[in-house]
Structure 1
Amino acid sequence: MVAVLALTALLAGCSADPIPAPAPAPPVPTVQAETTQLVAGITDIGPGFNPHLRADQSAVTQAISTLVLPSVFRPDANGNLQLDRTIATSAQVTSTAPFTVSYELNVQASWSSGAPIAAEDFVYLWQQMRSQPGTIGSSGYRAITDVRSRAGGKAVDVTFDRPYPYWPELFSGLLPAHILKDAPGGWTAPMANGVPVSGGPYRVMGVDRVRGEVLLTRADPYWATPAVLDEIMLRRIDTPLLTAALANRDIDLALPDAGPDVDRAIAAVTSTGGTGRPTVQRAPRPVVQSLEFRSGGGPMADPRVRQGVAAALDRDAIRRAVAPAAVPADAFGVAPSDAGYEPTAPAGAPARPDPAASAAAFTGAGYVRGSDGQWQIGGSPLSLVVGAAADRPQDLAVARVVVAQLKAAGVRATLVTPPAADLFAQPTVTPATPSATPTPAAGGAGPAPGAPTTPAAPTTPAPTPQAAPPATSETPSTTSTTSAPTGPVAVDVLVGARPATGAPGPRLDSEYGCPDPSVPAGSPGVSCFPAVQPLLDRLTSAQTAPADPAALADAERVLWTQLPGLPLYQQQGLVVSTPQTDAVTRVTPGPLATGPFTGATRWNEPEPKDR
């Protein structure tokens, strides 16, 4: 043992200094990939983003519904509905007594919050669509008697009160029940300035109403094929700045409404980044601009007054003043964009202005025309309230012309402009009136080139009403000679857009059929005429395409007689793209229901203009 210790000490004494540890390798520099983005110019952001509310209809809401919200069926390139297997692996009729449709949901499908896309989302949408006012396409949901969950919420059985051949149109744009069902104002408020979670390839990262921007970012994680682009920016661009925005490629895509000013702005673009003129594709908007008459109360409850008002209005003059590129809409149940569309409007009044017919209708209702030219009964003037949403500029522009035409016809008319969320849902509204001199909306031009493009968080201030076009010879000021109402009022003539998608039968029944008893009485858009309901029942049960022709023709005749309102026109939109955008997107107007962002998950970033 002593020898061993001695040997160890000797070896230690002879050893050199310890070899130092090698220096750590320098860190490998990481290259952060640049964010890929496409910027689309839009006309308006819109009041909100619930795709099931008439108040929220806009190009932005359509894009969000297409890219953010899950749908069981989606239209293909020809507009035919196809099962979206990222959401449901199967959907089929499993019983005829009672009529039952069974859905097997994709077990991987989930909201970005981590909650599964499940039966509770079906239940929530069904319950809201049949009970809330101001919805789009409620007919099919009213026919549902029960929605049952199976397989832990990943299978759904939906039963109907009758055979319903249009069931594939239902459960599009599902909403996150786990968030909305208990939220204050859950049907509308959480979606007024964004969408709380995503169930699709993109999510709404932020909405900045001052700058006029909505930012969509790729939803990570996402269970299906991810989108190629990191971001899609929707940016409001005023028409006077459209030429420069396209020429300088500050935007890659523009989606304006067609019109002379827009046409001139696009024609002035000789090239985009020096590589060629933009491509322009025309496409109808998925709505028909319309008037609605309050047939359930007030002066308009008398059909003769509705006939007199309709005969006093010049629909062509309204269209020329507000949307000269739009296509006249001369039917209630079908739109000019529908295959086989044929006008159903009668040759004269009420489809065409006829002062003599208007006067005869008012006289028949007991009104006389005073020396001041005003129609009155028992010494009281015929007075109507015209309503248009302050945050829907085109509606407001239409209302200005309607008010002017009614006044010229001897009808006292007052314009009120509440928020869209109130106008389309409440029986009465606070009579806010527009200013005589509209002020342009802030941020209409969008940020200057090179400015930051990240919008604010969804907790932005309430929408600021965007101004309607200034009064012209055809759109005079709405300043009334009568005092404005001081308390809540019911709107007699409501200006709004009605959907132009889906089968004609359910479309007509949704708009003009008798609502579910739970819908609040007096809600706007509720017109229930016993003479037309049996025809609507036939139309929603018809299995022929597009619908039972005889029932459709009879329904149109009744509606033109009863006059729940007047269709005006279908606005035409444009898809304007640069050559660089076309090369990486092949963008098209897309199916009417889902629009130009239908294939956006496959789009790539256009080549930067400085390359």
Structure 2
Amino acid sequence: MRRLGGVLVAAVLCGTAAACTNAPPPPLVPKTEAPVITTTGPKVTEIVVGVDDVAGGYNPHSLAAQSPITTALSSLLLPSPFRPGNDGAPQLDRNLMVSAKVTKAEPFTVTYTIRKDASWSDSAPIAAEDFYYLWQRMRAEPGVVDPAGYRLINNISAREGGKVVEVAFGKPFPGWRSLFSNLLPAHLLKDAPGTWSNVLATGFPATAGPFQVRSLDEPRGEVVLERSDRYWEVPTTLDRVVIRRATHSAMAESLSKGDNQAVLLRADAADVNLLRGIKDLTTKPVPRNEVVQVLLRPVSEQLGDVNVRKAVVAALDREALISFGTQSGPSAQFRADSYVVPPSRTGYRKTITANTLDAAASEQLLTGAGYSKTGGGWQKAGKALKLRIVAPDKAEPYVSIANRIKAQLQERGIDSEVLTPTAEDLHSKQLVESNVDIAVVPRVDAGDSAAALASSYGCAGDAPDGATPNPRNPAGFCDPAVQADLEAALNGKVLLSDVLARVEPLIAAQAVSVPLFQVVDLLGVLPTVSGVDAGAPLAGVLSGAPEWRRLDR
């Protein structure tokens, strides 16, 4: 300021004195001085994971929202009474729960005691209303994952300020530990405008775990998770986890430069070779909790006749569909040769032993069903056989397989069209109706195979209180001949293995489902981090993120 004042005074004096020279004034900052930039605070410790996509929605209970990013985020951000252990068996999460156990045999009652300090990120307690909200939605909404267990519940009551939850069942349910995973913040959702389809459509209104969402930018393709200051247990080692969308070639480049420390991608043979070329990179398969299946829906007008369904199945080359869908990637080692249990799960047993293709049998069955072959395809009573094949829009490998099915059917003279509605519209509306003939959709494993069996192939019925009719299964299949077995497995009266031995041949004979393969991603990890692994079955790679560490910082 003194220097600046001196310059101004000199300028004024020169304006009135003839003796002033033309010499320039001294600079305000000497030219030899450079600006000094300082940083404060510790360096942020983060791990960046490359993925195929980060698009929503993020509701883990919705079939329409199933994806690796949904599994990843829900495992980190939503509370669960039980979480899968390394062997896949459910283990009590003591970060959330004090206890959870069967406390009464008649009626079958499970009592959950929640930690008093467990709360959502907005400070609301995790309590009984969260259990109640999820129960109400899971037993009534179409397109949810394995609702059969929730439909056995008769009532949920609470005490001690909602921290003790009593769940009363109408019938015993040995698989009760699979229920109430990924609880949702009922206090924010129960009275919110919109429908179930809007729940977690674009993000998480509240979270409850070691991480919280700092930003979720779908257009940019990036999710940033940071350590939650409201978490009541041991804080995470990392400050931040960044999940970033990229092409496979960009992921490889980022790994080579060290910009990414890990990647998780749906890989074909070329991608496997691409990652193999990266120095010191460790790779391993990570099975998703979804199996690609082809549903032939008995509720459709054209496939109501079992012989027509059998004819369509016989027209398909299942081996070729598996080969096309897996592209010699990790999924090729996880063929789904069972109608219920995924290949990666304990209890998986191969029950499908032959290819489905039998062109002669296909023609014979269609002829026996009253169809005749003309130059333009198959007709019955003057009406052409043209099947509607649906797959969720932009979801791979489902859309590509649907188009390949169309091509295979065309080779046998069976006309068809492929439609790709949004995943939400497909699961919540179109598969509730009867105008879809064939659906290429995931069969999702929520942890209990008996519930999966009843949810996928059981008959629809009334809710326990008679208030809300249960939506039917995605195939619209109901066979009283197998219903008793399904219920016996669900209630623990008969071993699931014994029920599957009887039921799977009946499902095959009804030509309702053609399982193909389990979707398996490829994980690549650099040695600059530790703890980044495949994770427990069903939990996903990011389930272990609270223990991840950077080794190069």
1:333-357 CA-partner distances (Å, limit 9, x unpaired): 112112342221254xxx5211111
Q: TM-score, normalised by structure 1?
A: 0.79
| Map of 1:332 onto structure 2 | 339
Residue 110 (structure 1) aligned to one of 119, 124, 129:
119
Whole-angstrom distance in 1 between the partners of 2:186 and 2:461:
21
Whole-angstrom distance in 1 between the partners of 2:402 and 2:258:
36
Q: Secondary structure at the residue paired with 2:394?
A: coil
Q: Secondary structure at the residue paired with 2:48?
A: strand
| Map of 2:499 onto structure 1 | 551
Asked if the contact 1:511/1:526 (under 8 Å) is kept, the reply is no
Letter of the 1:497 partner, please give it. Answer: P
Whole-angstrom distance in 1 between the partners of 2:87 and 2:381:
58
1:229-283 CA-partner distances (Å, limit 9, x unpaired): 22211112212323212111221111112420211211222x2xxxxx2011223
Query: Do the aligned partners of residues 340 and 116 (structure 1) sit closer, same or farther apart at CA in structure 2, a change above 3 Å counting?
Result: closer
Whole-angstrom distance in 1 between the partners of 2:453 and 2:273:
37
| Map of 2:41 onto structure 1 | 32
| Map of 1:343 onto structure 2 | 350
Aligned positions, number: 507
Question: What is the Cα deviation at residue 361 of structure 1?
Answer: 1.8
Question: What is the Cα deviation at residue 494 of structure 1?
Answer: 1.1
Q: Is 2:136 aligned against 1:157?
A: no
Question: What is the Cα deviation at residue 522 of structure 1?
Answer: 6.8
Q: Secondary structure at the residue paired with 1:103?
A: strand
| Map of 1:449 onto structure 2 | none
| Map of 1:368 onto structure 2 | 372
| Map of 1:8 onto structure 2 | none
Asked if the contact 1:395/1:496 (under 8 Å) is kept, the reply is yes
Q: Which moved more, 1:513-522 or 1:488-497?
A: 513-522
Question: What is the Cα deviation at residue 516 of structure 1?
Answer: 4.4
Query: Do the aligned partners of residues 81 and 420 (structure 1) sit closer, same or farther apart at CA in structure 2, a change above 3 Å counting?
Result: same
| Map of 1:458 onto structure 2 | none
Asked if the contact 1:164/1:541 (under 8 Å) is kept, the reply is yes
Q: Secondary structure at the residue paired with 1:226?
A: coil
Letter of the 1:331 partner, please give it. Answer: S
Residue 354 (structure 1) aligned to one of 352, 358, 363:
358
Asked if the contact 1:242/1:265 (under 8 Å) is kept, the reply is no
Residue 515 (structure 1) aligned to one of 460, 464, 468:
460
| Map of 2:178 onto structure 1 | 169
Q: Secondary structure at the residue paired with 2:134?
A: helix
Please list, as runs of the form range in 1=range in 2, the aligned pairs for 1:268-307 lying within 5 A after superposition: 268-269=277-278, 271=279, 277-307=280-310
Please list, as runs of the form range in 1=range in 2, the aligned pairs for 1:30-179 lying within 5 A after superposition: 31-179=40-188
Letter of the 1:113 partner, please give it. Answer: D
Residue 527 (structure 1) aligned to one of 477, 481, 497:
477
Letter of the 1:397 partner, please give it. Answer: S
Whole-angstrom distance in 2 between the partners of 1:427 and 1:170:
27
Residue 264 (structure 1) aligned to one of 266, 273, 296:
273
Whole-angstrom distance in 1 between the partners of 2:130 and 2:484:
32
Question: What is the Cα deviation at residue 541 of structure 1?
Answer: 2.1
Question: What is the Cα deviation at residue 579 of structure 1?
Answer: 1.0
Whole-angstrom distance in 1 between the partners of 2:167 and 2:527:
47
Please list, as runs of the form range in 1=range in 2, the aligned pairs for 1:243-258 lying within 5 A after superposition: 243-258=252-267
Q: Secondary structure at the residue paired with 1:128?
A: helix
| Map of 2:417 onto structure 1 | 414
Whole-angstrom distance in 1 between the partners of 2:249 and 2:496:
47
Question: What is the Cα deviation at residue 309 of structure 1?
Answer: 1.0
Whole-angstrom distance in 1 between the partners of 2:447 and 2:250:
35
Percent identity between the two aligned chains: 38
Asked if the contact 1:256/1:575 (under 8 Å) is kept, the reply is yes
Please list, as runs of the form range in 1=range in 2, the aligned pairs for 1:177-576 lying within 5 A after superposition: 177-269=186-278, 271=279, 277-324=280-327, 325=329, 326=331, 327-345=334-352, 347=354, 351-372=355-376, 374-427=377-430, 490-517=435-462, 518=468, 524-542=474-492, 547-576=495-524
Asked if the contact 1:258/1:571 (under 8 Å) is kept, the reply is no
Query: Do the aligned partners of residues 34 and 489 (structure 1) sit closer, same or farther apart at CA in structure 2, a change above 3 Å counting?
Result: farther
1:292-315 CA-partner distances (Å, limit 9, x unpaired): 222113211211111111111112
Question: What is the Cα deviation at residue 117 of structure 1?
Answer: 0.6
Asked if the contact 2:56/2:203 (under 8 Å) is kept, the reply is no
Whole-angstrom distance in 1 between the partners of 2:444 and 2:50:
23
Query: Do the aligned partners of residues 338 and 159 (structure 1) sit closer, same or farther apart at CA in structure 2, a change above 3 Å counting?
Result: same
Whole-angstrom distance in 2 between the partners of 1:247 and 1:516:
55
Question: What is the Cα deviation at residue 501 of structure 1?
Answer: 4.7
Asked if the contact 1:194/1:206 (under 8 Å) is kept, the reply is no
Q: Note the residue ranges of structure 2 that are not aligned, 5 or more in a row.
A: 1-37, 463-467
Whole-angstrom distance in 2 between the partners of 1:79 and 1:521:
29
Question: What is the Cα deviation at residue 428 of structure 1?
Answer: 6.9
Whole-angstrom distance in 1 between the partners of 2:54 and 2:198:
16
Q: Secondary structure at the residue paired with 1:536?
A: helix
Letter of the 1:56 partner, please give it. Answer: A
Letter of the 2:106 partner, please give it. Answer: A
Letter of the 2:57 partner, please give it. Answer: G
Question: What is the Cα deviation at residue 83 of structure 1?
Answer: 0.9
Asked if the contact 1:38/1:232 (under 8 Å) is kept, the reply is yes
Whole-angstrom distance in 2 between the partners of 1:120 and 1:36:
36
Query: Do the aligned partners of residues 384 and 159 (structure 1) sit closer, same or farther apart at CA in structure 2, a change above 3 Å counting?
Result: same
Whole-angstrom distance in 1 between the partners of 2:169 and 2:541:
33
Letter of the 1:313 partner, please give it. Answer: L
Letter of the 1:159 partner, please give it. Answer: A
Question: What is the Cα deviation at residue 568 of structure 1?
Answer: 0.9
Whole-angstrom distance in 2 between the partners of 1:362 and 1:192:
43
Question: What is the Cα deviation at residue 519 of structure 1?
Answer: 5.1
Whole-angstrom distance in 2 between the partners of 1:213 and 1:30:
26
Letter of the 1:603 partner, please give it. Answer: W
Whole-angstrom distance in 2 between the partners of 1:502 and 1:594:
10
Whole-angstrom distance in 2 between the partners of 1:362 and 1:231:
59
Whole-angstrom distance in 2 between the partners of 1:555 and 1:33:
60
Q: Secondary structure at the residue paired with 1:343?
A: coil
Whole-angstrom distance in 2 between the partners of 1:137 and 1:340:
18
Whole-angstrom distance in 1 between the partners of 2:214 and 2:361:
54
1:428-450 CA-partner distances (Å, limit 9, x unpaired): 79xxxxxxxxxxxxxxxxxxxxx
Question: What is the Cα deviation at residue 391 of structure 1?
Answer: 3.3
Whole-angstrom distance in 2 between the partners of 1:519 and 1:392:
30
Q: Secondary structure at the residue paired with 2:196?
A: coil
Asked if the contact 1:119/1:149 (under 8 Å) is kept, the reply is yes
1:382-424 CA-partner distances (Å, limit 9, x unpaired): 1111111113132111111111112222122111111111111
| Map of 1:592 onto structure 2 | 537
Question: What is the Cα deviation at residue 588 of structure 1?
Answer: 1.9
Over the aligned positions, Cα root-mean-square deviation in angstroms equals 2.1
Whole-angstrom distance in 1 between the partners of 2:469 and 2:61:
15
Query: Do the aligned partners of residues 521 and 541 (structure 1) sit closer, same or farther apart at CA in structure 2, a change above 3 Å counting?
Result: closer
Whole-angstrom distance in 2 between the partners of 1:329 and 1:520:
28
Question: What is the Cα deviation at residue 45 of structure 1?
Answer: 2.4
